[in-house]
Chain A
Amino acid sequence: MIRESAIRIPFRYAAGGAGSRFLAALRDERRILGARCDGCRRVFAPLRSFCSSCGASPLEEIALGPGGRVEAWTARADGTVFALVRLDGADTALLHRLVGLPGEPRRGMRVRARFAAERRASILDIAGFEPEEGASA
């Protein structure tokens, strides 16, 4: 005997101090913000309010990229390509999509953030990362 049920539940999540600043910068300044910990000498992407390694807070806000390198990628059956992109200036990678690919991506390839025309303080204000001009795919 099996019982099935379905329900729709509304949620409303606060991005918080660092998250709000990060998302507003995508929307208003087309900048990707990260955080530098002076103690650990590490730069985190995205911006956060405390160091993931040593716990220090607050951290210094810095702009990253918009260029970077593909550290790893995978393609879904529908063709969407996801990648871990290490932005220039960052020590950690950001999970996002690769777009405008002429062919199969490759590890280490140079990419650059393409911002969406309509931005609403969402991680999708970055439409995706596309191959940097002159980069071979």
Chain B
Amino acid sequence: MSAPVHVALEMDQSWRYAAPAAMARFCAGLKERRIEALRCGGCGRRYLPPRPVCGNCHLPLADWVPVADEGRLEAWTVVHVPILDPRTGRMREAPYGMGLVRLDGADTTLNHFLAQSDPARLAIGQRVRAVWREQLAGAIDDIRHFEVLA
């Protein structure tokens, strides 16, 4: 029996993803601080993120509706585990607040960061508002995080 041998290596991974048309339009809107959802003509559900088809009705989605950058906190947590950012490979520092936010005008919730990371100051039902970055790149993290409104 030999001592166990290991092969240790670091693999570089890179990706290049084409956006679905609906997502491309959504991201273009973010560059102008505009949030839009797609409404299903069958069930009426307003989807964020936008997508080609309603998963419940199987109908194509084409009806764009405006969504506010404010909403209701539907779920929250404070994460204490650092995580490798899958886009950059850098560690994201902990702790940080995470929430599910139902933006006014949307029926699905959006998972995003919260400015607040003190559990004592977070509660389901709080009103929250997007804090936008100065430089907008047309990505969902053009919103830096959501802050709790007084």
Note whether A and B form a binding pair. Answer: yes
Query: Which A residues contact B (CB, under 8 angstroms)?
Result: 1-17, 19-21, 23-25, 121-122
Stretch of B10-18, B63-71, B95-103, B125-133 on the interface side: B10-18
A18 to B17, CA, bound (A): 40
A2-B17, A2-B19, A3-B19 known; A15+B6 contact, CB < 8 A? yes
CB distance from A13 to the nearest CB of B (A): 5
Q: Is B149 an interface residue (CB 8 A)?
A: no
A4 to B10, CA, bound (A): 20
A2-B19, A5-B86, A7-B88 known; A12+B7 contact, CB < 8 A? yes
A6 near B14 with CB under 8 A, answer: yes
CB distance from A16 to the nearest CB of B (A): 8
B5 near A24 with CB under 8 A, answer: yes
Residue-wise interface mask of B (1-43) relative to A, using a CB-CB cutoff of 8 A (1 in contact, 0 not):
1111111111111111111000110011000000000000000
Contacts A13-B9, A20-B3 given; 14 further ones with Cβ under 8 A?
Answer: A1-B28, A4-B15, A4-B16, A6-B15, A7-B14, A7-B84, A8-B12, A9-B13, A11-B9, A14-B4, A15-B5, A16-B4, A20-B2, A121-B5
Chain B hits for A11, CB < 8 A: 8-11
User: Closest chain A residue to B12 by CB distance?
Assistant: A8
A107 to B84, CA, bound (A): 48
Q: Is B119 an interface residue (CB 8 A)?
A: no
The interface size bin for chain B is 20 to 34
Q: Is B89 an interface residue (CB 8 A)?
A: yes
Complex A-B: 24 CB contacts under 8 Å: A1-B18, A1-B138, A2-B18, A5-B15, A5-B87, A6-B13, A7-B12, A8-B89, A10-B10, A12-B7, A13-B6, A13-B7, A13-B9, A14-B5, A15-B6, A15-B7, A17-B2, A20-B4, A20-B5, A21-B1, A23-B2, A24-B2, A24-B3, A24-B5
